[in-house]
C-alpha cells in the first residue's frame, strides 16, 4: 500500500554544462501514481552550492493596501483582487554571493560573505544571470526568471491579509527581518530569521528584490485580474521587500519601491522557476 507523502523534492543536477532533471511522482490514494509538482526543487550548481526553491500554488489574493491602512501610499491603491493562474517555484532564500559567483564568475557585492545575499546587482545584471542559468536549463522543461510584482506579493503574503505576512505589529518585525533597527547597516547570511507560512525566508528586509515589472504609479487602477505583469515600458523597475536600512513601513508586503536599472547595494534578487508544460498556459486577460 502506498502512503501519501507530504514532501517531494525535484533535484536538478548540473553536470558538464547541462542539467539532468528527475521528475518525481506522488502516490495516489488508490495505489497508482500521478505526476505532480514536487514541493521543492533543488538546483545543484556544483561544489556543494545549491539553489533551493519552494513550490507556490496557484490562487487568488488581495494585492495592495486597503483604505483602512492610513500608512499606505497612493501607488499601493486601489487594493484589488489578483488571480495567479499557474503554480511556480520561488527561491527559499535570496540568491547568495556564492551562487552568483558560480554562475557569473564574479561577486559585485559590497557586503562580502558567501552565504550573504548578493547585492549591488542591477536589473540588467540579473537578466544576464538568468540568461546564463537558462542555458543550463535547456531541455529540462523549466525556466528561471524574476518574479512579477504580483507573483512576489502573492508569495510574500502566503495567504495573509495583514501589513506583514505574520501580522500588523512593527514590534515583531525583528523576528522575521533585517532592517534599520537590527541590521548594523549591513546584510547577513540568508535564512537566519523566521520564514513565512510557505517557507520563504527574508521576504521582509535584508535586500530589496528585483521584480520583472516596469513601474507605473497608476497601474493598479487598470491592472488585469489574472497574472498581471506590469506596464509594457517605463524608466524605473519595481523592487520589493525592504532592505537592511529600511524603516518598518518599507518592509510591508504591499510596499512598492522603485529604482533605475542600475546596481545599488540595497538591492538583490530572488529566483522564480516555472515548468514549461504546454498545458499550463496562463489565462490571458485584457486590462480593465
42 falls within a domain:
no
Q: What is the mean pLDDT of residues 189-204?
A: 98
Cβ atoms of residues 63 and 33 within 8 Å: no
46 falls within a domain:
no
Q: How confident is the model at residue 5 (pLDDT cuts 50, 70, 90)?
A: very low
Dihedral of CA 205/208/211/213: which sign?
positive
211 falls within a domain:
yes
90 falls within a domain:
yes
- Domain holding 208: CATH number? 3.90.1580.10
CA 31 to chain centre: 35
Cβ atoms of residues 261 and 123 within 8 Å: yes
Quote the number of domains for the chain: 1
257 falls within a domain:
yes
The pLDDT tens digits of the residues spanning 52-80 come to: 999 999 999 999 999 999 999 999 999 99
d(CA 197, CA 38): 17
The pLDDT tens digits of the residues spanning 239-262 come to: 999 999 999 999 999 999 999 999
Q: How confident is the model at residue 7 (pLDDT cuts 50, 70, 90)?
A: very low
pLDDT value at position 36?
Answer: 72
pLDDT value at position 11?
Answer: 54
Q: At a CB cut-off of 8 Å and minimum separation 6, what does 239 contact? A: 208, 209, 210, 211, 257, 258, 259, 267
Q: How confident is the model at residue 139 (pLDDT cuts 50, 70, 90)?
A: confident
pLDDT value at position 29?
Answer: 38
pLDDT value at position 276?
Answer: 80
DSSP 152: H
149 falls within a domain:
yes
Q: Which three cell numbers stand for residue 186?
A: 549591513
Measured from the Cβ of residue 142, the count of other Cβ atoms closer than 10 Å reads 19
In the block, residue with C-alpha cell 518585525: 173
DSSP 96: B
Q: Over the chain, what is the mean pLDDT?
A: 88
Q: Is residue 21 scored above 60 in pLDDT?
A: no
In 3D, which of 210, 216, 199 has the Cα closest to residue 129?
210
142 falls within a domain:
yes
Dihedral of CA 224/229/232/236: which sign?
positive
**Strands 142-145 and 272-275: what pairing?**
antiparallel
Cβ atoms of residues 48 and 64 within 8 Å: no
Q: How confident is the model at residue 151 (pLDDT cuts 50, 70, 90)?
A: very high
Please give the biggest Cα pair distance in the chain. Answer: 58
Cβ atoms of residues 27 and 5 within 8 Å: yes
In 3D, which of 69, 66, 50 has the Cα closest to residue 11?
50
pTM score: 0.88
Per the structure, the complete domain to which residue 265 belongs is given by: 57-280
The pLDDT tens digits of the residues spanning 74-96 come to: 999 999 999 999 999 999 999 99
Lowest mean pLDDT among 116-130, 235-249, 267-281: 267-281
14 falls within a domain:
no
Q: Percent of the chain, pLDDT > 70?
A: 84
In the block, residue with C-alpha cell 511522482: 25
Amino acid at each position: 500500500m502506498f502512503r501519501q507523502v507530504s514532501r517531494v523534492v525535484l533535484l536538478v543536477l548540473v553536470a558538464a554544462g547541462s542539467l539532468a532533471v528527475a521528475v518525481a511522482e506522488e502516490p495516489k490514494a488508490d495505489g497508482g501514481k500521478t505526476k505532480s509538482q514536487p514541493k521543492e526543487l533543488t538546483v545543484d550548481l556544483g561544489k556543494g552550492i545549491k539553489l533551493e526553491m519552494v513550490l507556490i500554488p496557484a490562487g487568488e489574493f488581495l494585492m495592495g493596501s486597503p483604505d483602512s491602512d492610513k500608512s499606505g501610499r497612493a501607488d499601493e491603491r486601489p487594493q484589488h483582487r489578483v488571480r495567479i493562474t499557474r503554480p511556480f517555484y520561488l527561491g527559499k532564500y535570496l540568491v547568495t554571493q556564492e551562487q552568483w559567483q558560480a554562475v557569473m564568475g564574479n561577486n559585485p557585492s559590497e557586503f562580502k560573505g558567501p552565504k550573504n545575499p548578493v547585492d549591488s546587482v542591477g536589473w540588467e545584471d540579473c537578466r544576464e544571470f538568468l540568461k546564463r542559468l537558462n542555458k543550463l536549463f535547456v531541455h529540462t522543461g523549466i525556466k528561471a526568471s524574476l518574479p512579477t510584482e504580483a507573483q512576489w506579493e502573492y508569495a510574500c503574503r502566503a495567504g495573509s491579509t495583514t501589513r506583514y505576512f505574520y501580522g500588523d505589529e512593527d514590534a515583531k518585525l525583528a523576528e522575521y527581518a533585517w532592517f534599520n533597527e537590527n541590521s548594523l547597516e549591513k546584510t547577513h547570511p540568508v535564512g537566519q530569521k523566521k520564514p513565512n507560512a510557505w517557507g520563504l525566508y527574508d521576504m521582509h528586509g535584508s535586500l530589496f528584490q528585483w521584480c520583472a515589472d516596469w513601474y507605473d504609479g497608476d497601474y493598479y487602477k487598470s491592472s488585469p485580474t489574472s497574472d498581471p505583469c506590469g506596464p509594457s515600458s517605463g524608466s524605473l523597475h519595481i523592487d520589493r521587500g525592504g532592505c537592511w536600512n529600511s524603516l518598518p513601513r518599507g518592509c510591508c508586503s504591499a510596499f512598492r519601491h522603485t529604482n533605475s536599472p542600475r546596481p545599488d547595494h540595497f538591492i538583490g534578487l530572488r529566483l522564480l522557476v516555472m515548468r514549461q508544460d504546454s498545458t499550463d498556459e496562463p489565462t490571458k486577460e485584457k486590462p480593465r
